[in-house]
C-alpha cells in the first residue's frame, strides 16, 4: 500500500498538477494540505473520475485538508484537534481507510516569531502531541501525514544558520517534533534516508528548486505496527518542476501487506471535545 502526503498550495488553482500526479503516481491513499478552498469548492468530481473517494475540511482562502482513497471507503473519525474549542482553522482531518487510521494535518507556520502566530503554532503542536499519544495508546496502526512546518534537524535545511530566527526552525518547534518521536512515532522518510540531504519544499524565489535549495517539512509518522511494515519512503521531486506546480513535492511511503488487526472507526467531529 502506498500512502502519500502533498501540500497542493491551492487545490483548484493547481488542479491539473494534482490530477496528473494522481494519475501517474496512483497512491492508494493521499493526504492533501493547503486546499485554500471553502467546503463547497472542493473539486470532488474530477478526483472521483480518477477512482478516488474523498473527504475534506475546507476553509475559504486559507488552510484546508483532505484524504483521498482508491482502496475502499473513508470512515471519518475526526475533524479538528481537541483542546481549543474556538479554533476555526481547518488543519486536521482523520479517518480509517483500509484498516489504517490516517491523520492528515497542516501545522501552523508560526511566523513572525515571536508573536501570536508563533504562540498559536506551539499550542497547536501541544494539542497534536496530546492527541498523538492517545492514538499510540490505542495500539491501532496509525499514520500522521502532512505539512508539519518544521525542519527537525540541521540535515533538513540547506543552510541552518540562515533559519535560526524562523518559526519553522525554532528550538521550540524542533523540540515539539522530537517529543512526537520520543512517544514512539517513526519518521518514515528519515528512517529510509539516514544522513541524506532530502527536501520536500523549495521556494519559488531565486531559483531555489533549480539550485536544490530546499527544506524538509512534509513528514509521515508511523505508529510501531506500521513501522514494521515500512518498505520504502520517497519524494516525487520531479513534480515540483512541473509547470504551475506547488512549492512542495509529494512524499510517499510503501507499506507491506502484512496487516495489523482491522481498526473500528469512532466518529469524533467536534474540535473541542
Q: Which residues are catalytic?
A: 106, 147
In this structure, are residues 69 and 53 in contact, taking their beta carbons and an 8 Å threshold? yes
Nearest to 2 by CA among 26, 34, 36: 26
Alpha carbon of residue 190 to chain centroid: 15
Instruction: Indicate the DSSP class of residue 45.
Output: H
Q: How far, in Å, CA of 237 to CA of 141, rounded?
A: 28
Got the DSSP string for 10-21?
STTTTHHHHHHH
Q: What residues pair up with 94 in beta bridges, in sequence order?
A: 78, 103
Q: How far, in Å, CA of 108 to CA of 129, rounded?
A: 14
Q: How far, in Å, CA of 135 to CA of 145, rounded?
A: 14
In this structure, are residues 80 and 94 in contact, taking their beta carbons and an 8 Å threshold? no
In this structure, are residues 98 and 67 in contact, taking their beta carbons and an 8 Å threshold? no
Amino acid at each position: 500500500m502506498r500512502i502519500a502526503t502533498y501540500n497542493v498550495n491551492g487545490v483548484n488553482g493547481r488542479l491539473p498538477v494534482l490530477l496528473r500526479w494522481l494519475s501517474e503516481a496512483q497512491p492508494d491513499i493521499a493526504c492533501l494540505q493547503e486546499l485554500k478552498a471553502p467546503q463547497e469548492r472542493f473539486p470532488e468530481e474530477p478526483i472521483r473520475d480518477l477512482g478516488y473517494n474523498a473527504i475534506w475540511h475546507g476553509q475559504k482562502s486559507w488552510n484546508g485538508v483532505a484524504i483521498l482513497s482508491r482502496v475502499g471507503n473513508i470512515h471519518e473519525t475526526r475533524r479538528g484537534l481537541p483542546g481549543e474549542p474556538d479554533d476555526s482553522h481547518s488543519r486536521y482531518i482523520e479517518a480509517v481507510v483500509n484498516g489504517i487510521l490516517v491523520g492528515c494535518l497542516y501545522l501552523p507556520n508560526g511566523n513572525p516569531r515571536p508573536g501570536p502566530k508563533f504562540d498559536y503554532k506551539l499550542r497547536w503542536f501541544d494539542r497534536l502531541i496530546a492527541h498523538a499519544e492517545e492514538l499510540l495508546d490505542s495500539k491501532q496502526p496509525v499514520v500522521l501525514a502532512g505539512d508539519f512546518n518544521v525542519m527537525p534537524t540541521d540535515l533538513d535545511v540547506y543552510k541552518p544558520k540562515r533559519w535560526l530566527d524562523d518559526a519553522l526552525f525554532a528550538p521550540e518547534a524542533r523540540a515539539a517534533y522530537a517529543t512526537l518521536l520520543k512517544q514512539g512515532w517513526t519518521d518514515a522518510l528519515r528512517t529510509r534516508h539516514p544522513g541524506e540531504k532530502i527536501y520536500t519544499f523549495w521556494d519559488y524565489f531565486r531559483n531555489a528548486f533549480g539550485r536544490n535549495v530546499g527544506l524538509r517539512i512534509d513528514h509521515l509518522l508511523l505508529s510501531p505496527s506500521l513501522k514494521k511494515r515500512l518498505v520504502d519512503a520517497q519524494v516525487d521531486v520531479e513534480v515540483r518542476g512541473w509547470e504551475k506546480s506547488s512549492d512542495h513535492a509529494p512524499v510517499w511511503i510503501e507499506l507491506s501487506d502484512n496487516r495489523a488487526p482491522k481498526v473500528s472507526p469512532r466518529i469524533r467531529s467536534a474540535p473541542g471535545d
